[in-house]
Chain A
Amino acid sequence: MEYLLFTIGFLLLVLIGAALYAVYQKDLLYAVIATGVISLALTGLFLVLQAPDVALTEAAIGVALTTIIFIITIRNTVRFEDEKDKKMKH
């Protein structure tokens, strides 16, 4: 039984770590990838919590599409949070 406890504990830690990383990271691209990781952790959690439909949706929308839209927006605007130092435009 503690196998379930172990996985949920691990996933929750990953979730919170990724959230903190996403908030504190200055480079927006890495922050967005961290958001993707949050969605991934959420998908895992939903699976463990016996909600397969929702896990599939979270995987498809949260990980794939939301991340890609964020990345496209960053491509079209600015990559770093404080634009002063590096305005790296591809």
Chain B
Amino acid sequence: MDTAELIRLGVYGTSILLILIGLYAVLTKKSLIKIIIGLSIIDGGIHLLLIGIGYVKGGTAPIFSPGSEDAVARMVDPVPQALVLTAIVIGFGVTAVALSLIIRLYRHHNTLNIDEIKNLKW
């Protein structure tokens, strides 16, 4: 098991673990804010996974500093980084909307327990 394989397993493993922890929080925790925390943990896990995909052991950052214009071979894959950049900002946007909805829900129901917010059913 050389280090590259170890790093890969470590990063992928943690990101899957993060996704599971996030899902656990979303599915069992009763407070709405805890659910949103769970969602942002899932997002974090996925972004780590995405960057892990692009990582090449011993690769360099995809920036062409003045010295090394030709260091293309050992560069890390820039595409996942561009995707993660967009995904983080989208995740933030959705979290902001979610938290504003929580404030409105609290103003209307005076509780943040998801079991009590069940007016719309069947």
Q: Tell me, rounded to whole Å, the shortest Cβ–Cβ distance linking B95 to chain A.
A: 6
**Docked CA distance A66–B59 (Å):** 31
Our pick among A1, A38, A52 for the contact of B3 (Cβ within 8 Å) is A1
B22: chain A residues at CB < 8 Å are 19
Our pick among B33, B47, B62 for the contact of A73 (Cβ within 8 Å) is B33
A35: chain B residues at CB < 8 Å are 37, 40-41
User: Using a CB–CB distance below 8 Å, which chain A residues touch chain B?
Assistant: 1-2, 4-5, 8-9, 12, 15-16, 19-20, 22-23, 28, 31-32, 35, 38-39, 42, 45-46, 49-54, 57-58, 61-62, 65-66, 69-70, 72-74, 76-78, 81-83
Contact at B76–A50, with CB atoms within 8 Å?
A: yes
* B117 on interface, CB distance cutoff 8 Å: no
Contact at A77–B76, with CB atoms within 8 Å?
A: no
Q: Tell me, rounded to whole Å, the shortest Cβ–Cβ distance linking A30 to chain B.
A: 11
* Residues B1-58 near A (CB distance < 8 A): 3, 6-7, 10-11, 14, 17-18, 21-22, 24-25, 29-31, 33-34, 36-38, 40-41, 44, 47-48, 51-52, 54-55
Our pick among B17, B37, B84 for the contact of A70 (Cβ within 8 Å) is B37
Ordered by A's residue number, 13 sampled pairs between the chains whose C-beta atoms are within 8 Å are A16-B21, A19-B41, A20-B21, A22-B25, A22-B41, A23-B24, A28-B31, A38-B41, A51-B76, A57-B84, A66-B95, A77-B103, A78-B111
User: Using a CB–CB distance below 8 Å, which chain B residues touch chain A?
Assistant: 3, 6-7, 10-11, 14, 17-18, 21-22, 24-25, 29-31, 33-34, 36-38, 40-41, 44, 47-48, 51-52, 54-55, 59-63, 76, 81, 84-85, 88-89, 92, 95-96, 99, 102-103, 106, 111-113
Q: Tell me, rounded to whole Å, the shortest Cβ–Cβ distance linking A21 to chain B.
A: 10
Q: Tell me, rounded to whole Å, the shortest Cβ–Cβ distance linking B53 to chain A.
A: 10
